[in-house]
Amino acid sequence: MSLKYNGPLQMQINDIAQVAGYMWEKGWAERNAGNISVNVTEFIGEENKVLPVISKVPLLHPVPELEDQYYYVTSAGSRMRDIARNPMDQGMVVRVTSAGKSIDILADKDLPPTIELPSHMLMHQVFAHEALTNGTSVAAGRRVVFHTHPTELIALSHIKELQNSKAVTETLYEMHPEVSVCVPRGVGWVPYEAPGSLELAQASIKDLKKFRFMLWERHGILATGNNILEVFDAVDTLNKAAKIFFYIRMQRR
C-alpha cells in the first residue's frame, strides 16, 4: 500500500527530500552516506494509521516512550540524490509498536531501515523524555535526527587541539558570528566510534540533552531539532565557519 498524502504530511516529506538534495549538492553525501529520521506523528493522518503492516523489524533496545509514534526513516544503502527525487523510493514510514520493542513498516516498500536506526531511536527517546518532562506531547519536541558528512567539519575534527566541545565551539564561534545565533548551545564533541555501533549511539546521547549538534570525530555531524530545514541551515552555517577556519589557516602559512 502507498502512503496517503494530506497537506501537512506532504510538506514534511517534501522538506525531507529538499534537504536530501541539498546534502548531495554540497558534497556531504557521497555514495550512500548520511541518514535521516523525522517524527511525523502529528502529520500522519488517520488514513495512514490503518495501512496494513508490510513487515516488522525488531529493535535491539526497547524504546517504550515511542510506542505509537510514526517516523519517516531513510533505508539502508539509500543515496541522498535518490531520496531527493523520490523520498518514498529509498525511505519508509514506520510505526513504533509492542512497547517500543519493534517497528512496523507501513509504506511504501519493504526496505531495510538505515543501520543507524537503533541510534536514531535512542535519540528520539531522549527527545521523548524532554517533551514529557516539559508536559508536552512526544511529537511536539525535537523531531528530527539527521547525520551527514560536511567536508570541512570532518577536516576540523582531525585537529587534536580542537577535540573537545569547548574548543571546537569557541573556534566555530570565533570564525563566524552567525554560528552563535544558529547554534547557541554550542557543538558537542564525540570521540571516534565505529559508524552504526551502539558505542557511537551511547556516546552521542550522553550529552544530547545539552547539545543539539554533535561533531563525530572523523565521521561527520549529528544534527537534531524540530524543523529539518532549520536544522540543515544550522549545519550549513557550522560548515561555513569551518571553511573560514581553513581559509585563514592557509593565509597564515
Give the DSSP letter of residue 6.
-
How does strand 144-148 pair with strand 91-97? unpaired
In 3D, which of 70, 64, 128, 67 has the Cα closest to residue 94? 70
Amino acid type, 94? V
What angle in degrees, to the nearest 10, is found between the helix axes of 165-175 and 228-251? 80
* C-alpha to C-alpha distance for 204 and 40, rounded to whole angstroms: 23
In 3D, which of 68, 13, 62, 73 has the Cα closest to residue 37? 73
* C-alpha to C-alpha distance for 10 and 216, rounded to whole angstroms: 32
DSSP string, 121-172: HHHHHHHHHHHHHTTS-GGGS--EEEEE--HHHHHHHT-GGG-SHHHHHHHH
So which residues are the catalytic ones? 116
